[in-house]
Chain A
């Protein structure tokens, strides 16, 4: 097992290189970082020239990538444009944990900008994941036990619709019903944008209240697919010999379903949860943008539009690392839960 983990980690290194090169090349040819730095004011040509040198944009792209990756403190830079490289660089590079500085936030380290937003994204994703797994187990097990009943057909239809719905559609729909219509009807209505009401302040109650709709939107989409999956694995397990044995030796139905069957049926769900992380992150991106939730996804969108290379690259790498780590954890947990699986 240890060897497997080490091998997978080593494989991840070229993979991250590949991802970072592709993203870097795309990012460097996009937009105008100097204009972003200038903000709303027009930039004088001599300033533009100076900023271009400062940002290292005058260098070939391979050198820029090298600086981004390994820093430039071992090199001397020509900042005043007189052809003599005399100023030592100050960047440490991604390999030493320096993701560069944000252009939009005027020199604030990109990592700090991203780090500010990560808790907010987790605040949406963790409750959403709990709702997804809990809800899907409930629905999936029910429809497996009552296969082909009327309610099973209804659930199947609903899950198909949920599965086919873009997340923004369900977000808009729930916003319209629970915020706009409820308000019109004089019912207690849910807030739609932001994390808290500015007049009340950032209290836990306010944040929870604002979380309802985004979490609902993220959860509904994934729950549909998950419950289908649980239904089919549950059906498969329920028809196996050991379940019949458990039934015939007189165990209560509840124990057979929830202890004997569910234990094995839930194995593939572990994989599903692990592999769905990229999807969930994408969903969070759209949800955050609709509900004006100050998370990492919205940060990504805002800064992508303004060509803030360090921040966008930082988010991309963090999410990629998260995906890789999650897949590894999934594999390990899976092997631990199911002794039949051997990786070596």
Chain B
């Protein structure tokens, strides 16, 4: 009786037009809400442009050119030959921002994956099993939250820095420090995600379909992975998107402070290392302006997308 009344009210609220149209699929609903968020669409376009810039640029400049030093060309202002100028050892900044962009974007994406794996594992175990496991894991999470992240990151960057040999992939050599940075960023930023996942698990595991799954003897891991986790997709996707931006920012901080990815591998962050010297601040603003702006644009576009995803996927949560 009650539900019939609700349906009637719901029907009355719709116009005749909408009633005739076939019901929207989840994907259509998502797209309809996402499309309305103009900033998010702008973010998608901007991010695509940045990806094209970083991964299409190598067609124009070779990596050897990006890493070639020529001290006679030190700190040249932007010109036709070097549109973004040259750095303190005469490398072309335009070419370096292209190759640096690849690494920075990759670090953002891979660190996010590390973070998601750790965050989901800890959050799911804590939320699903509860009790002692929950309180132990949550104390552990709090411990990580209580260490100021940047301080710990720097200690870890210094500890692991230089311990991993260079990696050769697709005929290119990457500094081993890239792997170090990815891992330590992932390891120091999973806590919020773990809390979100735990909260979702706590509420979903009380649902009747979980009881049904248990009653039919479904093993624990299958309930976790196949029955509860898909219900937590929305907040995970939103949080993961925003953490790509966060990882790119963190990489730039560590590299800016000189403990990040080691040269000759360029990243937007390590191009900014040592730019706070008097000489560069006074005379060579192009050295930090271009890589710095690219970091801002990337982080901005990802934040826009994250915001749009939150509105579209997870309308209950409040944007901060």
| Chain B residues, CB < 8 A from A160 | 39, 300, 303-304
Q: Is the Cβ of A232 less than 8 Å from the Cβ of B139?
A: no
Stretch at the interface among B74-82, B154-162, B199-207: B154-162
Q: Is the Cβ of B256 less than 8 Å from the Cβ of A168?
A: yes
A27 to B257 CA separation, bound complex (whole angstroms): 18
CB distance from B253 to the nearest CB of A (A): 6
Q: Is the Cβ of A319 less than 8 Å from the Cβ of B319?
A: no
CB distance from A81 to the nearest CB of B (A): 29
CB distance from A18 to the nearest CB of B (A): 5
A320 to B144 CA separation, bound complex (whole angstroms): 10
| Chain A residues, CB < 8 A from B147 | 19, 23, 278, 316, 320, 323
Q: Is the Cβ of A169 less than 8 Å from the Cβ of B292?
A: yes
Q: A229 an interface residue at 8 Å Cβ cutoff? A: yes
| Chain A residues, CB < 8 A from B288 | 169, 172
Besides the known contacts A30-B158, A164-B300, A172-B276, 12 further A-B residue pairs in the complex with CB atoms under 8 A apart:
A27-B159, A31-B158, A168-B256, A168-B276, A176-B281, A176-B285, A277-B148, A301-B257, A316-B147, A316-B152, A320-B148, A324-B146
Contact pick for A169, options B139, B295, B320, CB 8 Å: B295
Closest to A176 in B: B285
A169 to B150 CA separation, bound complex (whole angstroms): 17
| Chain B residues, CB < 8 A from A168 | 252-253, 256, 272, 276, 292
Q: Is the Cβ of B300 less than 8 Å from the Cβ of A161?
A: yes
Name 13 A/B residue pairs within 8 A (Cβ), A-sorted: A14-B139, A30-B155, A160-B304, A161-B300, A166-B295, A166-B299, A172-B285, A289-B257, A312-B155, A316-B147, A320-B146, A320-B148, A324-B146
Q: Is the Cβ of B276 less than 8 Å from the Cβ of A315?
A: no
A interface residues, tally (CB under 8 Å): 56
Q: B142 an interface residue at 8 Å Cβ cutoff? A: yes
Binding site for A on B (CB under 8 A): 39, 139-140, 142-143, 145-152, 154-156, 158-159, 245, 249, 252-253, 256-257, 272, 275-276, 278, 281-282, 285, 288, 292-293, 295-296, 299-300, 303-304, 318-320
Q: Which 10 A-B residue pairings sit nearest by Cβ, starting from the closest?
A: A282-B150, A278-B148, A164-B299, A164-B300, A169-B292, A26-B159, A15-B143, A290-B276, A281-B148, A18-B143
Contact pick for A30, options B39, B148, B159, B272, CB 8 Å: B159
Contact pick for B151, options A164, A166, A285, CB 8 Å: A285
CB distance from A71 to the nearest CB of B (A): 23
Q: Is the Cβ of A15 less than 8 Å from the Cβ of B146?
A: yes
Q: A192 an interface residue at 8 Å Cβ cutoff? A: yes
| Chain B residues, CB < 8 A from A193 | 278
Q: A228 an interface residue at 8 Å Cβ cutoff? A: yes
Q: A35 an interface residue at 8 Å Cβ cutoff? A: no
Q: Is the Cβ of A172 less than 8 Å from the Cβ of B292?
A: yes
Q: A216 an interface residue at 8 Å Cβ cutoff? A: no
Q: Is the Cβ of B257 less than 8 Å from the Cβ of A286?
A: yes
Q: A234 an interface residue at 8 Å Cβ cutoff? A: no
A163 to B301 CA separation, bound complex (whole angstroms): 12
Contact pick for A166, options B146, B158, B292, CB 8 Å: B292
Q: A9 an interface residue at 8 Å Cβ cutoff? A: no
Q: Is the Cβ of A289 less than 8 Å from the Cβ of B276?
A: yes
Closest to B159 in A: A26
0 or 1 for each of A142-167: is its CB under 8 Å from B? (1 = yes)? 00000000000000000011011111
State the main secondary structure of chain A at its contact with B.
helix
Q: A11 an interface residue at 8 Å Cβ cutoff? A: yes
| Chain B residues, CB < 8 A from A282 | 148-151, 253
Closest to B252 in A: A166
| Chain B residues, CB < 8 A from A176 | 281, 285
Q: Is the Cβ of A305 less than 8 Å from the Cβ of B151?
A: no
| Chain A residues, CB < 8 A from B296 | 161, 164-166, 169
Closest to A25 in B: B159
CB distance from B35 to the nearest CB of A (A): 18
CB distance from B188 to the nearest CB of A (A): 11
| Chain B residues, CB < 8 A from A312 | 155
| Chain B residues, CB < 8 A from A289 | 257, 276
Restricting to A6-62, which residues have a CB under 8 Å from any CB of B? Answer: 11, 14-15, 18-19, 22-23, 26-27, 29-31
Closest to B135 in A: A11
| Chain A residues, CB < 8 A from B39 | 160
Q: Is the Cβ of B148 less than 8 Å from the Cβ of A305?
A: no
A286 to B103 CA separation, bound complex (whole angstroms): 22
Q: A246 an interface residue at 8 Å Cβ cutoff? A: no
0 or 1 for each of A216-235: is its CB under 8 Å from B? (1 = yes)? 00000000010011001000
CB distance from A171 to the nearest CB of B (A): 8
Closest to A14 in B: B139
Q: Is the Cβ of B319 less than 8 Å from the Cβ of A15?
A: no
Q: Is the Cβ of A180 less than 8 Å from the Cβ of B282?
A: yes
0 or 1 for each of A298-318: is its CB under 8 Å from B? (1 = yes)? 001100110000001001100
CB distance from B184 to the nearest CB of A (A): 11
Closest to A15 in B: B143
Contact pick for B143, options A19, A164, A304, A319, CB 8 Å: A19
| Chain B residues, CB < 8 A from A15 | 139, 142-143, 146
A238 to B152 CA separation, bound complex (whole angstroms): 41
Q: A124 an interface residue at 8 Å Cβ cutoff? A: no
Q: A137 an interface residue at 8 Å Cβ cutoff? A: no
Q: Is the Cβ of A232 less than 8 Å from the Cβ of B253?
A: no
A168 to B319 CA separation, bound complex (whole angstroms): 26
Q: A175 an interface residue at 8 Å Cβ cutoff? A: yes
Given contacts A26-B156, A160-B39, A301-B257, is CB(A319)–CB(B276) below 8 Å? no
CB distance from B158 to the nearest CB of A (A): 6
| Chain A residues, CB < 8 A from B318 | 232, 236
| Chain B residues, CB < 8 A from A327 | 146
Given contacts A166-B252, A168-B272, A228-B319, is CB(A19)–CB(B257) below 8 Å? no
